[in-house]
Structure 1
């Protein structure tokens, strides 16, 4: 065979670097959102933190260091509020599991799933004041729920007057009123789940608990993390309306939460600096709890 000089390889075209305008375009697009977040969120947060180190009353505007935080730690009401935060953390898996299981049933198309989708979301559009007023009547000592318990032979329960029961009653009402949003998020997560995995589990004869554990939960790991975080934030920052209408922080301050404590200090006792310190403490609690939840869920996902 004749041989000849091999042709030199064609030069590889280097990708053309974008112009300066193209490189800056993404930053220009996100700049308005960043400015809004800084102006309406981060800057007021920084002002609140700074204000928490000043005094109230005659010491208004005077730096007092950590005195407000020492006052918080010495206040039994604030310690009760923090204890109730711990209770909310323990109840959080239940608050997440309820919409998760309902979303699973709807996704698996149980009979009437379209009706259930609308019915479950309906409470989410109601005002907390309206929900609180309705359940104050239902859970009253002489209310319909205790009448129903009497019919089946169970004694009446002082749902809103017993310090050991009231916080559970209010949290239960909050979960009922708000889990519709988490249900929507779970349904959106199901739309990203590979249906072939469910089909394979069904063909292999996997039971529903096995399908939940080995297919649905790993497939919705990021959705579950998001719902955990948003549900916890909602519990810590969106229960004021229910507390105000249903218990007023009672009985015996057993239903105090940090946001209700903040309102009392600011709105009733005119102690804005102490309220700012409590707000800062609430922010730190939410941050630590959120980071801990994400860490635990990620570790569980890797082990799964």
Structure 2
């Protein structure tokens, strides 16, 4: 208990106490200069009437629905690397490289590439395809932002799944091979069940990351626009 006490105190002081304190403030009319009065659920009812809040929550639902994609892509890439494809050390390094870049740098790069007069539309023009305002159209802004977020973060997921694959029992895989199981059957019935704790862990940290770490990318790429097409709750909190 003595060894756990410092960690428990840190969680209580910097996590639990601010959480309850913030909830208490949300039940008042307090501002930065006025302690305000108790108004109950008034702030929450007012938020529900705010179209910007409803749009941000709808976008949050879309973000959450993309979590399986964010988990599946690193898992499939890790499986390919684990199978011993040529150049796997190179690919492992390349996949992880975006994870060391800041969201501001990534956003700045893609804001140039995906602008209406950017590199991507230039390539499409060479192929005879009309350009698209990827970040300026409400139908494409959020999916493109999520795709960029996936590209910039999947490297860490690949490393996590590679670590998980290294713990899979070789004896179970060999037994399945001796029983005549095909490769896809081995993956589906042996390896993926063994990876269940890794999949659950990756799903949790991916969900947390998507809900709390897209601010920088959205700020640089779209500023929450067009309109509120890419406004998520964390960005709306800052904008408000």
Q: For this structure pair, what is the TM-score category when the shorter chain's length is used for normalisation?
A: over 0.9
Check 1:116–1:200 CA distance in 2 against 1; reply closer, same or farther (3 A cut): farther
**Residue matched to 1:138:** 113
Residue 249 in 1 paired to residue 196 in 2?
no
Gaps in structure 2 of 5+ consecutive residues: none
Task: Report how many aligned residue pairs link the two structures.
Answer: 239
Residue 93 in 1 paired to residue 68 in 2?
yes
Counterpart secondary structure, 2:27 = coil
Which among 34, 37, 42 is matched to residue 8 of structure 2? Answer: 34
Cα distance in 2 between the residues matched to 1:38 and 1:89: 28
Cα distance in 2 between the residues matched to 1:250 and 1:201: 52
Counterpart secondary structure, 1:158 = coil
**Residue matched to 1:271:** none
1:127-164 CA-partner distances (Å, limit 9, x unpaired): 10001000101111111111222223322121101101
Q: CA RMSD in A?
A: 1.6
Check 1:154–1:198 CA distance in 2 against 1; reply closer, same or farther (3 A cut): farther
1:30 offset after TM fit, Å? 1.1
Cα distance in 2 between the residues matched to 1:192 and 1:239: 32
Which among 77, 102, 107 is matched to residue 82 of structure 2? Answer: 107
Deviates more, 1:135-144 or 1:208-217: 208-217
Residue 49 in 1 paired to residue 23 in 2?
yes
1:203 offset after TM fit, Å? 4.8
Which among 58, 66, 74 is matched to residue 83 of structure 1? Answer: 58
Counterpart secondary structure, 1:196 = helix
**Residue matched to 1:173:** 148
Could you state the TM-score of these two structures normalised by the residue count of structure 1? Answer: 0.75
Check 1:207–1:151 CA distance in 2 against 1; reply closer, same or farther (3 A cut): farther
Could you state the TM-score of these two structures normalised by the residue count of structure 2? Answer: 0.94
Residue 63 in 1 paired to residue 58 in 2?
no
Cα distance in 1 between the residues matched to 2:185 and 2:61: 31
Gaps in structure 1 of 5+ consecutive residues: 1-26, 266-304
1:196 offset after TM fit, Å? 2.5
